[in-house]
Chains A and B, each alone.
Chain A
Amino acid sequence: MSYIKNLNIQYDDFSLNIETLEVSDQGITLLQGPSGIGKTTFLRCLMGLEKNNFEWEFQGENLAALPPPQRRLGVVFQSVELFSNLTVIENILFHARARNLSPEAYRKKLQRWLEVSGLEKKINQKVQTLSGGEKQRVALLRALIGKPKILLLDEPFSALDQRLKKELRDLIKEIVREEKIPCLVVSHDENDATNFADHVIIFENGHARRKQ
């Protein structure tokens, strides 16, 4: 288990107060709740993009005390944020290069991920030419290749149709289970709780709790 403590956010007409929240450090945890309740803000706090004095105890370490790059998170933003001037493979390898990983550390895995995700034949294409679903998959592989401790996905399925949604869900499930990386996913879709997630955290009335 990892623990998030004393996370308090207060804007004009918005507040989120988390005294202690248990988050599983295995499998997929879904963050659910109505729009504007603070799920994305919560995720941005975990990333270190919002200033907040909270604690995030993960495998004996307070991640919140570390600068964002040192938290070693794999992130997929809602807007994907691929580097539009780079190709698929350059985008994916950017994270590995930023972490100074040797090619041997990821070559085999990358080959397999590219196969599973169906991106194998598109590696030299500019990301601008890809479809929405393909972009999401590139963003996912880019997040994974840097050997993250945790994967944070902010509404990764929001712009996808049902078929693409299912494909991406299956891909995430497969890779997350294979790599044993805990994954926090923000989603609005009720079906994700039953078909996709291992654990669910509900956001309501300015608080967050684990769904039993």
Chain B
Amino acid sequence: MVRRALLLFLLAPLFFPYLVLVTYFKNFELPQDLFSLSLNTFCQAFLSTAFTLIFGFLGSFSLVQKRSWTLIWFILLPSFLPSLFFVLAVLQMIKQFPFGLWGIVMVHTLSGIGLAAVVFATLFREKALLIGELCYIEGASSLQFVFKIIQNFKIEIFLIFVFFFVQYWTSLSIPLLVGQQFQTIETAISKQIFTTGKIESAMALAFGESLVAILLLLIYKVPIHKRVQALTTDRFLRGKIFLGILLIPGVIYFAGNFFALVLVFKNKKVIFDFEILKKTLMSLQISLFVGLFIFIFSVIMLLNFQNKTLSKFIFGYIPLSTILIGLGYMLLKINYGLSPAFLTVLALAGYFFPMLYRYQLKEKLDAIDGQIEAAELMGASSWMIFSKIIFPQLSNTIFFLCGLGAFWTLGEFAITRVIFGQEQTLAIFIQNLAGQYRIDLAIFYEMILLLCGILIFYFFNGLRYVLYQKS
């Protein structure tokens, strides 16, 4: 009974906005430019994915050998930073930035290649391969070896393609920041709501967009059957030249930030008044509570470890457009007078949790499936299994994900802006500065958010430590 009530608490934020929207707007209406919007979205997602995978694939050759954690962290950083943070650095570094389709593709690619390379490298390390040895013995060239790899891993490569495609297909922040006149479905939804007020049309677009993403995620869930005998060799997979490709995004991020800060301090144009402090505190507060809610959602999820349908649902859950979520919560604020900060926390926790579940929690839970099975056979109650086996083994992951979710929250501006309707958080303020091309100043304030993010990340790690000590 308690578990079901908790389940409702987890599912409510995922369904709330749509229930509210469907109540208010019943007549879906397809926009006239549906075809061009779909084509634009497809083009940017396809090109972004293709470039991400090509560079990630080449870069992965330099990661097959064990690399230091600092290097991996540096390579992965752009993939895990809030989009806003990374876009600012790119805009700071590339003065003649190609806004529009190629701008979106460029930022997507730069932010994704690190993750793609690590995914490929893990795949090659874990399952690669006799192929390397065979190619070497048979005197194959590096190019022949690469083709052999593609041939042998085509299913895995396709699944990685789907993973990135879905991410880019539903991307909002980057098209919004660098797309300008180039409209994707997500930015069109935003326009329909804020400029033309055609909410039914926005909803129709959102449903169509999500349907594609969900169908693709269904493919993504197909298990990888193809397993190749492992016999590692780095004869062909050694490639320091490719490491440079992977370092570019990180270098752009740090160099962009550095140059912006130099400019800001040189021109002494920084303002840190009470208003900024208020926005910072609001950002911190929302971020902290999102982290706590992610903790609660994770615990509810793990308490329901036997519920495979729930696991499948959360794994495959794709929110129906970021802006629409915000709109649903905004209607709740207007009609029921609920606190916008609370609604933002709920909206963002519900938005980030399925991503975090897909990213790590499910995998970690699946890894101890055998232990759970053994405990069930011994007659252990589900509470005993949760408290003695699951939670102690997954608490590290949970607190890490809380920190990550809280960190993402600090850089989120789309949902927050819709719910608040005003410039209440630092991320919204930064986005406004970016819109006015005051990039260096925006980066300065981003540094404050980054500092807050590090603090919150360590706060959640501290909680884990305290819990660990007590147990």
Partner-binding segment picked from A72-80, A170-178, A187-195, A204-212: A72-80
List of B residues within 8 angstroms of A83 by Cβ? 371, 375, 388-389, 393
Answer yes or no: A84 CB below 8 A from chain B CBs: yes
B373 touches A81 (CB 8 A): yes
Which label, helix, strand, loop or mixed, suits the secondary structure of the B interface? helix
A68 touches B377 (CB 8 A): yes
Answer yes or no: B421 CB below 8 A from chain A CBs: no
B381 touches A98 (CB 8 A): yes
List of A residues within 8 angstroms of B377 by Cβ? 47-49, 68-69, 73, 75
Given the contacts A77-B370, A77-B374, A94-B375, A85 and B380 also touching, CB distance less than 8 Å:
no
A85 touches B379 (CB 8 A): no
List of A residues within 8 angstroms of B371 by Cβ? 81-84
B379 touches A146 (CB 8 A): yes
Answer yes or no: B212 CB below 8 A from chain A CBs: no
Chain B positions 353-370 with a Cβ under 8 Å from a chain A Cβ? 368, 370
Given the contacts A77-B370, A81-B370, A86-B388, A98 and B393 also touching, CB distance less than 8 Å:
no
List of B residues within 8 angstroms of A81 by Cβ? 370-371, 373-374
Nearest CB of chain A from residue B125's CB, rounded to whole Å? 21
List of B residues within 8 angstroms of A85 by Cβ? 389, 392-393
Answer yes or no: B384 CB below 8 A from chain A CBs: yes
Answer yes or no: A180 CB below 8 A from chain B CBs: no
Chain A interface size band reads 20 to 34
Q: Which among A72, A75, A83 has the highest number of chain B CB atoms within 10 Å?
A: A83
Chain B positions 408-467 with a Cβ under 8 Å from a chain A Cβ? none
Q: Report the separation of the CA atoms of residues A134 and B379 in the bound assembly, to the nearest whole angstrom.
A: 24
A142 to B, closest residue via Cβ: B378
A98 touches B384 (CB 8 A): yes
Given the contacts A85-B392, A86-B388, A94-B388, A99 and B374 also touching, CB distance less than 8 Å:
no
Chain A positions 114-160 with a Cβ under 8 Å from a chain B Cβ? 142, 146
Q: Report the separation of the CA atoms of residues A47 and B373 in the bound assembly, to the nearest whole angstrom.
A: 10
Answer yes or no: A95 CB below 8 A from chain B CBs: yes
List of A residues within 8 angstroms of B275 by Cβ? none
Partner of A97, one of B370, B376, B384: B384
Given the contacts A85-B389, A85-B392, A98 and B375 also touching, CB distance less than 8 Å:
yes
Residues of A at under 8 Å CB distance from B?
A: 47-49, 68-70, 72-73, 75, 77, 79, 81-86, 94-95, 97-99, 142, 146
Closest 6 CB pairs of A and B: A98-B380, A69-B379, A81-B370, A81-B374, A85-B392, A95-B378
Other contacts beyond A77-B374, A82-B371: 13, CB < 8 A: A68-B377, A72-B379, A73-B377, A77-B370, A81-B374, A83-B371, A83-B388, A83-B389, A83-B393, A84-B393, A86-B388, A97-B380, A99-B379
10 contacts between A and B (CB under 8 A): A68-B376, A69-B377, A69-B379, A77-B373, A83-B388, A84-B368, A97-B384, A98-B378, A98-B380, A98-B384
Residues of B at under 8 Å CB distance from A?
A: 368, 370-371, 373-381, 384, 388-389, 392-393
